[in-house]
């Protein structure tokens, strides 16, 4: 029997944001792999093997998914949000590059609603104009690269979505990121803290960057820094489509 | 009866990428408004009024949607992809700002799979590292702003998703964008042309930027310019998670 590997995005949390394409893939799977909290979102059923794993095990997990698929299993590797945005798809292709024996495995990538889109929708339309997405985790890139990108993003007047702003192992990075943006003249910009978006624990908070404090974010928070024209109307925050 | 306005994203084209949340909103709607090709994707049923409109009518359409909702209708305003990314959500908040009489209308924004995520999934994982999204349409912003952002995005080594690369009314902009990126030293980068992604007319093409020609894109094309580390493995294109 010929196996396959589907790399699927579960969306930000709410089951109503899982695409029918992903639901169909999960219904046909023999094995589901992923970081344990994401695997826990997959409805169990008879004949479906669940393989939860720890965080930071991305390459090992990708290799295991490829091995199972090569053995003839119908494997779905799940990510939160979209699998192509700071998630498992890149890890699979990295694993594939080091393991030529798996080059013939049939692979599909199924997109999902990534956190910044769900956060933006809850807040209004802060990504309605040009924007960028920066992963603040420095596990895989040096901090000076992050600083440089923040400065250039501010100069370009992008709205800035910040993924993984803060964790216990590197609590200081996000505060430094806020300082860099203040130094770049962004103190008056609006900042949206979207915590656990689309889940029962959702909390959305909007402040001026000058009033933003590092502890407003944790690893379940997606932060969006507005561009210089981003404005509030009632409870909504949006980027006007027109720019000068 | 109290009306409502739901601003919903239909995803890139395939019905299997419409979220259950959006499908439920369409099932409960009395009126659906949007650009005609997007309204045509909504299944008709008795009691549902469809209001297709022309392109570039965004503000008028947003005002009409707010007016119908204020009149007690259950209105869904549809965009392709995600409504918050270069689409109708920002137009609604702009309309709201000029029309205080509609401030009490109940509004929801429902996210969707935006074109760059679907294009990236088909190609592999070119957005697996930091990236930006730039709308190349200069209807609403001056061309020098676009040029500046392209230069800064190249300097930041972002992958770059280019929306609306080309139209009949401004055929030259995309060629200039490619020239700017070549001048910025990006000639060796991989460029993905994703045409009509997830539809029967889908066509994905990957070339080096030095070999990219403006006519490879039209308005149904989403272009992703890889970062300096983006690589090919077999038919897949991906951005390694690690950066220097």
Q: How far is the alpha carbon of A231 from chain B, nearest alpha carbon, in Å?
A: 10
Percent of chain A with pLDDT over 90: 89
Q: Which of A7, A125, A141 best tests the B interface by mutation, with the highest count of B CBs <10 A?
A: A125
Q: How far is CA A56 from CA A88, B125, B159, B230, in A?
A: 11, 18, 23, 22
Average pLDDT estimate for A229-233: 97
Per-residue pLDDT at B153: 98
pLDDT of residue B194: 98
Residue A104 clears pLDDT 80, i.e. is over it:
yes
Amino acid B167: pLDDT = 74
pLDDT band (50, 70, 90) for residue B243: confident
Q: Determine the pLDDT at residue A231.
A: 97
Does position B1 have pLDDT exceeding 70, yes or no? no
Q: Looking at the predicted structure, is the pLDDT value of residue B61 above 80? A: yes
What pLDDT is stored for residue A1 in this prediction?
Answer: 54
In terms of C-beta density within 10 A (0-12 exposed, 13-18 middle, 19 or more buried), how is residue A175 classed?
middle
C-alpha distance from residue B53 to each of A36, B34, B37, B57, B79 (Å): 46, 6, 9, 7, 12
Pick from B240, B209, B208, B14: which is nearest to B122 by CA? B14
More confident residue, A242 or B149: B149
Contacts 24+ apart (CB under 8 A), A49-58: A56/A139, A58/A88, A58/A91, A58/B241
A156 has a pLDDT exceeding 60 = yes
pLDDT interval class at A100 (50, 70, 90): confident
- The predicted pLDDT at position A166 comes to 87
Q: Which two tokens stand for residue B49?
A: 């009024």
Average pLDDT along chain B: 95
The torsion of the CA quartet A115, A116, A119, A124, rounded to 10 degrees, works out to: -150
Q: What is the mean pLDDT of residues A123-139?
A: 94
Best of B18, B61, B110, B152 to substitute, by most chain A Cβ atoms within 10 angstroms, is B152
pLDDT digits (tens, 9 = 90+) for A22-47: 999 999 999 999 999 999 999 999 99
Task: Tabulate helix, strand, coil % of chain A (nearest 5).
Answer: 35, 25, 40
pLDDT at site B57 = 87
- Whether residues B125 and A109 touch (CB distance < 8 A) is answered with yes
Q: Does A141 touch chain B (CB under 8 A)?
A: yes
Q: Does B84 touch chain A (CB under 8 A)?
A: yes
- What is the reported pLDDT for B100? 87
For B197-223, the pLDDT digits (tens) are: 999 999 999 999 999 999 999 989 999
The predicted model scores a pTM of 0.97
Q: Tens of pLDDT along B148-191? A: 999 999 999 999 999 999 877 777 899 999 999 999 999 999 99
Chain A residue with minimum CA distance to B239: A90
By three-state DSSP, how is residue A78 classified?
strand
Contact flag B128-A244 (C-beta cutoff 8 Å): no
**pLDDT (average), residues B11-22:** 98
The reported pLDDT for the residue numbered A77 is 98
pLDDT at B169: 74
Interval B79-127: pLDDT, tens: 999 999 999 999 999 999 999 899 999 999 999 999 999 999 999 999 9
Q: How confident is the model at residue A243 (pLDDT cuts 50, 70, 90)?
A: confident
pLDDT of residue A81: 98
Contact call for A84 and B117, based on CB within 8 A? yes
Nearest to B53 by CA among B32, B68, B33, B78: B33
- The pLDDT mean for chain A works out to 95
B24 touches chain A (CB under 8 A): yes
pLDDT on residue B2: 81
The C-alpha atoms of residue A196 and residue A211 are separated, in whole angstroms, by: 21
Backbone φ/ψ region at B147: left (φ over 0), alpha (ψ -120 to 50), beta: alpha
Instruction: Give the C-alpha separation, A50 to A169, whole Å.
Output: 28
Task: Compare CB distances from A242 to B109, B140, B158 and report the shortest one's residue.
Answer: B140
SS3 annotation, chain B: CCCEEEEEECECCCHHHCCHHHHHHHHHCCEEEEEHHHHCCCCCCCCCEEEEECCCCHHHHHHHHHHHHHCCCEEEEEECECCCCCCHHHHHHHHHHHCHHHCCCEEEEECCCCHHHHHHHHHEECCCCCEEEEECCCCCCCHHHHHHHHHHHHHCCCEEEEECCCECCECCHHHHHHHHHHHCCCCCCEEEEEECCCCCCCEEEEEEHHHCCHHHCCCCEEEEECCCCCEEECCEEECCCCCC
CB-based contact (8 Å) between B211 and chain A? no
């Amino acid at each position: 029997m010929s196996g396959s590997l589907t790399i699927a995005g579960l969306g930000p949390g709410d089951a109503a944001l899982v695409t029918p394409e992903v639901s169909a893939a999960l219904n046909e799977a023999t094995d589901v792999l992923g970081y344990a909290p994401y695997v826990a979102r997959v409805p169990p059923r008879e004949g479906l093997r669940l393989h939860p794993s720890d965080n930071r095990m991305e390459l090992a997990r990708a290799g295991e998914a490829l091995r199972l698929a090569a053995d003839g299993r119908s494997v779905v590797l799940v990510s939160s949000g979209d699998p192509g945005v700071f998630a498992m798809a890149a890890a699979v292709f990295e694993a594939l590059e080091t393991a030529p024996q798996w080059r013939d495995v049939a692979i599909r990538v199924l997109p999902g609603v990534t956190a910044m889109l769900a956060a933006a929708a809850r807040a209004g339309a802060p990504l309605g104009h040009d924007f960028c997405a920066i992963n603040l985790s420095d596990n895989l890139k040096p901090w000076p690269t992050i600083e440089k990108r923040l400065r250039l993003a501010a100069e370009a007047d992008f709205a800035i979505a910040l993924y993984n702003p803060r964790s216990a192992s590197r609590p200081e990075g996000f505060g430094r990121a806020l300082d860099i943006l203040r130094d770049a003249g962004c103190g008056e910009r609006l900042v949206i803290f979207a915590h656990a978006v689309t889940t029962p624990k959702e909390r959305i908070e909007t402040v001026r960057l000058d009033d933003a404090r590092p502890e407003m974010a944790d690893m379940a928070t997606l932060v969006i820094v507005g561009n210089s024209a981003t404005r509030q109307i009632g409870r909504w925050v949006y980027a006007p489509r027109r720019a000068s």
